[in-house]
Structure 1
Amino acid sequence: MARRLYRRIDRAIVPVLVLVGWELFSRSGILPPALLPAPSQVIVAWIDWIFAVDGNTQNYSGKWLSDVAASAGRVFAGFGIATALGVLLGMSIGWSRVVEKLIEPTLQVLRPVPPVSWIPLAIIWFGIADKPAIFLVFLGSFFPILLSTIHGVKTVDRNLLRAGAMAGGKPGMLLRHIVFPAALPSIFSGLRIAIGSAWMLTVTAEMVAVKSGVGYVLWDSYYFLRYDIVIASMATIGLLGFLSDFAIKAISARVLRWQRGSTLQAKES
């Protein structure tokens, strides 16, 4: 019973300790409460931001869902474009040496450029709207997906390819039925990295180039010295990133059931 109980609560131990320590420190008076709001104060502000309980968050009261929807729409738009293009281009580069020689040098030059540095150009090109945020999310998500896909394709077991070719498989069939499934574990790893970058960059873009979303609320509340709302915004971003990553993990576990079965067989043998 004790072991079962521990397994259920072990993941909550560290967060609870952090919150308790934070609450005690905030109430100790070492820092002014306005500079470091206690978790209880943040929760009160967060609840009003969500449900419009007493209006203590003023203009933000009751707008949490619309702010989250705005940010999520930008994240999944940029992330979806990056996934489609990153996987397609990664498969091409990993499979064809000609494509690799033509495209990879240019991509390797662009890859070290921080996506944030594109903000001025994004504003000039797209204006103050959703498009700059989607563009930055795309940039931040694209390269992790691309590189993971290339790695997955290049590390496919050559014996599988030889067996497929000997069975009469054409390059298109080999790509579809052997290379792509074998590269999926690496692709999903890239997707998990990319979704974290996507949330970080959409918040950054909303601070500068957009007038809605969780990032905009974070930056706007900073100007009004509402640090409880700032922290509630940060917690919202962390929660949304966690849920997005959890969703990708769940999809990965479902799609890659064959990998788990082969791993168990290898351990048993």
Structure 2
Amino acid sequence: MSGMKFSLSHSLSEAKWRFAVPVLLVLFWEAFSRSGVIPASLLPAPSRVFSTWMDWIFGINEAAQDSSGKWIYDAFASCMRVTAGYLIAAVSGIALGVAIGWWRWVERAIEPTVQMLRPVPPVSWIPLAIIWFGIANKPAIFLVFLGAFFPILMNTVHGVKTSDRNLLRAAAMAGAKQGQLLRFVILPAAMPSIFAGLRIGIGSAWMLTVTAEMVAVKSGLGYALWDSYYFLRYDLVIAAMISIGLLGFLADWILKQIMNSVLRWQQVSTVQGKA
């Protein structure tokens, strides 16, 4: 019973510190906006942003005007593009990363091209993406794929190359075939690096879908943000920014839960090592 009380007290204390900085920033923002140093039309107070955001979501008071009640459609459009591009990047990045890390001939054949393309900013592909795919979902999905692909690829390559060679030798001596080595030794050993790449990739995916929606798509949170800027609706601009941040945080949290579940063996070994 005392252990449960300690755990609850510890969780509450941790939550208090985790939310302390955001609450202080919001209070400072509210006070600064109301001070009149910057016109309220240029820096709307959090209370106004929250009111507009709630109308954007629920359609309660027309504070968001034409966007009233349309948040769910914008958020769904952005989430769909992120999910599609990210899944393509995850599957191809992990598969190609394992191949580059495991087979020398694949590394020699592909890595120079990868290293040449990797420094090119994904946003520089926007003109070509529009020419190739038009103004629709496809250019946004393509840009999301580019943004997420390289972090996943490079982290997978790193994870495969830094796998414990003693484990490989032990498995080979036990008679494991190459496919078994990849499945039962290399992939589990590379998983921490792969998940690190996946978490970096999901952040890049959200950044690129918003960029694409500003230029090449006529729906989504990025489009709503850019359209609000043109009409000087900075409360909606900030509400869109907050929405993107929260959805990105949620996506990373889901990935983190999956990672903790898949890498439970690593957490157990860490705890045993400390003991």
Say whether the fold is shared (TM-score over 0.5).
Answer: yes
Q: One-letter code of the match for 2:72?
A: L
Q: TM-score, normalised by structure 1?
A: 0.98
The residue that corresponds to 2:150 in the other structure is 143
Correspondence list, 1:91-240, <5 A: 91-240=98-247
Q: TM-score, normalised by structure 2?
A: 0.96
The residue that corresponds to 1:36 in the other structure is 43
Q: How far apart are 1:58 and its partner, in Å?
A: 1.4
Q: One-letter code of the match for 2:173?
A: M
Question: Is residue 69 of structure 2 the alignment partner of residue 62 of structure 1?
Answer: yes
Q: One-letter code of the match for 2:89?
A: A
What is the distance in 1 between the residues matched to 2:273 and 2:112?
39
Q: One-letter code of the match for 1:107?
A: V
Q: How far apart are 1:8 and its partner, in Å?
A: 2.8
The residue that corresponds to 2:25 in the other structure is 18
The residue that corresponds to 2:3 in the other structure is none
The residue that corresponds to 1:78 in the other structure is 85
What is the distance in 2 between the residues matched to 1:133 and 1:48?
27
Q: One-letter code of the match for 1:96?
A: W
Q: How far apart are 1:59 and its partner, in Å?
A: 1.4
Q: How far apart are 1:3 and its partner, in Å?
A: 5.9
What is the distance in 2 between the residues matched to 1:155 and 1:140?
24
Structure 2 unmatched runs, 5+: 1-5
Identity, % of aligned positions: 66
Q: How far apart are 1:73 and its partner, in Å?
A: 0.2
What root-mean-square deviation, in Å, do the aligned CA atoms of Structure 1 and Structure 2 show?
1.0
What is the distance in 1 between the residues matched to 2:211 and 2:239?
16
Q: How far apart are 1:153 and its partner, in Å?
A: 0.2
Q: One-letter code of the match for 1:251?
A: I
Q: What do residues 54-113 of structure 1 show as CA deviations (whole Å, max 9, x unaligned)?
A: 112111110101100000000010000000000000000000110000000000000000
Q: How far apart are 1:4 and its partner, in Å?
A: 5.8
Q: What do residues 210-264 of structure 1 show as CA deviations (whole Å, max 9, x unaligned)?
A: 0000000000000000000000000000000100000000000000000011111
Q: How far apart are 1:6 and its partner, in Å?
A: 2.5
The secondary structure found in structure 2 opposite 1:168 is: coil
